[in-house]
Structure 1
């Protein structure tokens, strides 16, 4: 009986530690977070420097009725000089946006990207009313996606996605 109680206490403390360290993972069990699939068919380049394991795909909204075709670029770990750490490329509407909510709405755990229900919303970078009004110069040509995002020093970061 002592082993069962000890195991139960260990599980409870592990869940509390996991929630404290990565809160979005616990939300997954309540259905308000989902895991996005890594998109291995695209290579990411930022200012001609290649990065791996940063492109994810989202095809279903949380209400399960709407289908969409989004690429999510998780740039938080890349140490880029930009305040936009999560970039959304809506391939259906041909628009580039950014996520503007809490930093806890997206988190990468063991190579998986967790997205909360609020993380599924984005604001187009070109929107003058809600967004920065930044011209991304988005080009979708065959197997290439090419656009810019603003950096912290009023420069542009050149983003290129190439399909393998």
Structure 2
């Protein structure tokens, strides 16, 4: 009996710790978060410096009725000077956007990116009304995606995605 009580207490403590450290993983258990797998078919370069394990693919929205084709760039763990840590590249509409919600809507755990239901929304960078009105100079070719995002120093960060 003591072992069962100890095990229950250990599980409850583990869940509380997990919620405190990585809250989006607990939301996954309740179905309001999904996992995005890493997209290994693209190589990411920012200002001619290569970064690995940052590109993820999203093909299904939360309402399950509509499909989309997004690349999610998870830049939070990188040492880059930009206010935009989650970049969304909508391959269907040819738009670059940023996630503008809470930091808790995205989190990376053991190489898997967790995205909450609110994390599936984005604002285009070129939108003057809701976004910063920044010209991304987006160019999409068959094997290359090239665009810019604003940095903290009123400069632009050059982002290149190349198919491997």
Q: Answer yes or no: same fold by TM over 0.5.
A: yes
Residue ranges of structure 1 left out of the alignment (5+ in a row): none
Q: Which residue in 1 is equivalent to 2:154?
A: 154
Separation in 1, partners of 2:28, 2:137: 35
Partner of 1:4: 4
Whole-Å separation in 2 of the counterparts to 1:155 and 1:59: 32
Question: Which residue number corresponds to residue 85 of structure 1?
Answer: 85
Per-residue deviation at 1:79? Answer: 1.4
Deviations 1:128-154 (A, max 9, x none): 000000000000111000000000000
Report how far residue 37 of structure 1 moved.
Answer: 1.1
Tell me which residue corresponds to 1:16: 16
Could you say which residue in structure 2 is the equivalent of 1:55?
Answer: 55
Map 1:48-127; keep pairs closer than 5 Å. 48-127=48-127
Structure 1 CA distance for aligned equivalents of residues 108 and 56 of structure 2: 11
* Residue matched to 1:131: 131
Per-residue CA deviation, residues 95-123 of structure 1 (Å, 9 max, x unaligned), is: 00000000000000111100000000000
Question: What secondary structure does 1:38 align onto?
Answer: coil
**Aligned residue number for residue 30 of structure 1:** 30
RMSD between superposed Cα atoms in Å: 0.4
Provide TM-score, normalisation by structure 2: 0.99
TM-score, structure 1 as length reference: 0.99
> Structure 1, residues 49-91: CA drift from partner, whole Å, max 9, x if none?
0000000000000000010000000000001100000000000
